[in-house]
Amino acid sequence: MTKEQRLVPTPLSKVNLADYAPDYKGEMDKASAREAEKALEARMFELQEMLYAQRKKALLIVLQAMDAGGKDGTIKRVFDNVNPQGVVATSFKVPTEEELEHDFLWRIHKAAPRKGYIGIFNRSHYEDVLVVRVNNIVPEDVWRARYDHINNFEKLLHDNGTYILKFFLHIDKDEQKERFQERLDRPEKNWKFSMGDLPVREQWDEYMQAYTDALTFCNTEYAPWHIVPANRKWYRNYVITKTIVETMEKMDLAFPPPERGLDKVVIPD
């Protein structure tokens, strides 16, 4: 029997990524995972309709991964059956001049989902303890202090009714190489390959250490990290969809009560 692999580390405990196999799939196979995912997607649609109508809570999905880790594919596949009116996806690129003139969370807070919405962050505030750290963009004492800033920021969102799910899409270096090669081999995917991806790949070990610390210091009860085995895209999609549905089931969602007197309304000709 396959040993079960935890998805969420114990909050604020030391994380060792060697304990998390990127190609783990438990007892699932592709066909059964997709069948289960189909039922989960139908339930997600129902729950999102209630979330949007109720307008009392919000859901924030944070996606982090190495290049080619599957952030775009996750957004496309997991959210393909929800009402787009109630979903806002934000991709965080290199900060603009204006953003750099504010604190590092300024641009993030502006993009946090309002009540009734699902917000998806394609990369996030964690770039400021990842790429900023690996490339020595700010001094160590600055990026180390950001772990506490992030925890306090996420606690603020949580206290305001935002449920937070953070997913680290965990692939290994061999899988990244295969995905890069596919982008080179398929003309319709050439646009997804950047020459800048190669120097980042050479920093793999430094990024793994940076991710380890982010997963260790910013994994809280109110904003847990989920380490998702992501070598197999079908398993990644199943796990994330299941986690989102399970979380939304706990949000006490319901359609708001109708106006009084609707039973007496007669629609005029």
Q: Please say if the pLDDT value at position 2 is more than 80.
A: no
pLDDT score of 237 more than 70: yes
Contact 82, 90 (CB under 8 A): no
Residue 219 CA to residue 150 CA, distance in Å, equals 10
Close Cβ partners of 16 (under 8 Å, ≥ 6 residues apart): 212
Scan for tokens 């502006």, then name that residue. 110
Residues 188, 164: Cα–Cα separation, whole Å? 34
**Helix pair angle (140-159, 204-217), 10° resolution:** 40
> pTM score, two decimals?
0.95
Report whether 229 contacts 21 (CB < 8 A): yes
Cβ–Cβ under 8 Å, residues 224 and 165 = yes
* Integer Cα distance of 241 and 80 in angstroms: 11
For domain 17-250, give the CATH superfamily.
P-loop containing nucleotide triphosphate hydrolases (3.40.50.300)
Closest by alpha carbon to 111, among 128, 84, 130, 87? 87
The arithmetic mean of pLDDT across residues 29-43, rounded, is: 96
Cα–Cα–Cα angle for 68, 144, 10, rounded to 5 degrees:
70
- The residue assigned the tokens 């783990």 is 24
Hey, which residues does 65 pair with through a beta bridge? 169
Least confidently predicted of 4-13, 53-62, 144-153, 205-214: 4-13
Mean pLDDT, to the nearest integer, of 118-126? 98
What is the reported pLDDT for 229?
A: 97
pLDDT exceeding 90 applies to what percent of the chain?
A: 91
Q: 7-17 burial by CB neighbour count: b if 16+ within 10 A, else e?
A: bebeeeeebeb
Q: Is the pLDDT assigned to residue 1 strictly greater than 50?
A: no
What is the residue-averaged pLDDT of the chain?
95
**CB 112 within 8 Å of CB 145:** no
Candidates 196, 204, 195; CA nearest to 174 is: 204
Name the residue among 172, 168, 176 with its Cα closest to residue 227. Answer: 168
Q: Sign of the C-alpha dihedral, residues 164, 169, 74, 106?
A: positive
Mean pLDDT in residue range 192-209:
94
